[in-house]
Amino acid sequence: MRTTIELDDPLFRQLKIEAARRGESLRKVVNDCLRQGLAAPRRRKKYVFRWKTERGQILPGVRLDDRNSLYDLMDGL
């Protein structure tokens, strides 16, 4: 199939050099590169979770040993 695409000059030069090195047509080299790129497994960037540790203290009136009073405090009662 014929189509028109716009390539950056450095990329075009690199493709022409590769075609000459292989002794193949520019068309074949471009098709091979596209096939390779599309067939390659897609790598997702690994997400790294970073903990942020802060120094702190329990606020006055907060009792961690009494769940109900803690809920009341969080609910604004």
Contact yes or no for 20/26 (Cβ under 8 A) = no
User: Are the C-beta atoms of 27 and 18 separated by less than 8 Å?
Assistant: no
d(CA 72, CA 74): 5
Is pLDDT at 77 greater than 80 in this prediction?
no
Tell me the C-alpha distance between 38 and 19, whole Å: 20
CA dihedral 60, 62, 65, 71 (to 10 degrees): 170
pLDDT tens digit sequence for 7-49: 999 999 999 999 999 999 999 999 999 999 999 888 888 889 9
pTM of the predicted model as reported, rounded to 2 decimal places: 0.53
Residue ranges of the domains in the chain? 9-39
pLDDT band at 74 (very low <50, low <70, confident <90, very high): confident
